[in-house]
Amino acid sequence: MQQEHQNLLSKEKECYQIIRNEEGTISEEYKQIRHGILTIEKTLYDKAREKFKENKSKIDDEGGEEDANDYLKPFLEKRGLPVNDSVGSYELAVEIKTDVMKKMKERIIARAKIIQERLQKQQSELKLLEEQYQKKQEEKNEKELSEVKFKISILEFRSGRF
């Protein structure tokens, strides 16, 4: 019984020592954060942007394409932020992300509407051609009918994809 008590007491001391060590490291890290000594790793986005700048400078040196697309540029300029720097705060980055995603969703919806309109147009042409085919029964109408059906199948595939 006494040995178990000693064993528990030694384990309790070990736990207390571990907790004190962790508190010490946490307080050191907190001091470093307050004094700005800790460095933050670059995000994947910042690394990609730097690589993009390097590639752009190589293209400029070679005399190639001068204005490469930067999709975030309009969103950053809208908020008066410099295009080549990091965003700054997490909240601002989230706000920019939601704006970008909203714009992307609008573009996808607009494209889906265009595909749907084309599909409806092709289906109406198919109805007209089928009516003409029933009346005339000519080979020309059969060829046009197969072309329109082919276009409809492509448009239906695109519509399903979106």
**Per-residue pLDDT for the chain (162 aa), expressed as one digit of tens each?**
899 999 999 999 999 999 999 999 988 888 887 777 766 677 888 888 888 888 887 776 665 444 456 777 787 778 777 666 666 677 888 888 898 899 989 999 999 999 999 999 999 988 888 887 777 666 667 778 888 888 888 888 888 877
pLDDT the model gives residue 131:
82
Q: What are the domain boundaries of the chain?
A: 1-39, 85-162
Structure tokens, 34: 């307050």
**Residues near 155 by Cβ (< 8 Å), separated by ≥ 6?**
115, 118, 119, 122
pLDDT the model gives residue 60:
66
Structure tokens, 60: 């400029």
pLDDT the model gives residue 52:
87
42/96 Cα distance (integer angstroms) = 19
pLDDT the model gives residue 79:
77
CB 118 within 8 A of CB 155: yes
Helices (H), 36-138: 44-62, 73-78, 90-136
Amino acid in position 160: G
pLDDT the model gives residue 84:
66
72/26 Cα distance (integer angstroms) = 37
Look up the pTM and report it: 0.41
